[in-house]
């Protein structure tokens, strides 16, 4: 059993049983993480500044997850405060701090506008 805990300093703590297995620095500048959503390949983080991070499981024993994509949601500087993934994992819906709702396909995240530097 694995537990993921997000912090307001941009970290995700990975806990297995009662042991802290990994501390991930998800954001470059320490932006807070407001929400997490688990899906079959890993998890999604909604962060300050309209950032959405996609982190996937890694085969590396020391690094259980890696952030593989970073997106800005709608050119928005509001935090991403809620994320939901459809049961088929093909659609993602998120809301921001200014009550905007965004929906897009998860099946091809390559078509989404990615941030210039990814984590």
The domains located in the chain, with CATH, are: 2-111 (2.130.10.10)
Q: How far apart are CA 105 and CA 88, in angstroms?
A: 11
Task: Name the one residue in this structure whose structure tokens are 């396909």.
Answer: 105
CA dist list (Å): 105 to 15, 20, 26, 49:
30, 33, 22, 21
**pLDDT given for residue 108 in this prediction:** 64
Average pLDDT of the chain is 86
Cβ proximity of 94 and 52 under 8 Å: yes
**pLDDT given for residue 107 in this prediction:** 73
DSSP string, the chain: -EEEEE-TTSEEEEEETTEEEEEEE-SSS---EEEEEEETTEEEEEEGGGEEEEEEE-S-SS--EEEEEEEESTT--S-EEEEEE-TTSSEEEEEETTS-EEEEESTTGGGS-B-SS--
User: What mean pLDDT comes out for the span 77-106?
Assistant: 92
User: What mean pLDDT comes out for the span 32-55?
Assistant: 93
pTM of the model: 0.84
**pLDDT given for residue 118 in this prediction:** 33
pLDDT at 110 over 50: yes
pLDDT bin (cut points 50, 70, 90) of residue 28 is: confident
**pLDDT given for residue 109 in this prediction:** 59
pLDDT at 78 over 70: yes
pLDDT at 21 over 70: yes
Q: In what order do the strands lie in the sheet with 91-96?
A: 80-85, 91-96, 101-105
């Amino acid at each position: 059993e694995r537990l993921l805990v997000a912090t307001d300093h941009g970290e995700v703590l990975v806990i297995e049983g009662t042991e802290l297995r990994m501390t991930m620095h998800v954001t470059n500048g320490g932006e807070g993480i407001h929400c997490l959503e688990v899906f079959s390949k890993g998890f999604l983080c909604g962060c300050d500044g309209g950032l959405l991070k996609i982190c996937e499981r890694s085969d590396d024993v020391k690094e259980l997850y890696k952030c593989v994509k970073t997106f800005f949601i709608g050119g928005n500087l509001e935090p991403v405060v809620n994320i939901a993934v459809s049961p088929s994992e093909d659609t993602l819906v998120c809301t921001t701090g200014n009550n905007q709702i965004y929906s897009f396909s998860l099946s091809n995240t390559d078509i989404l506008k990615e941030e210039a530097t990814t984590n």
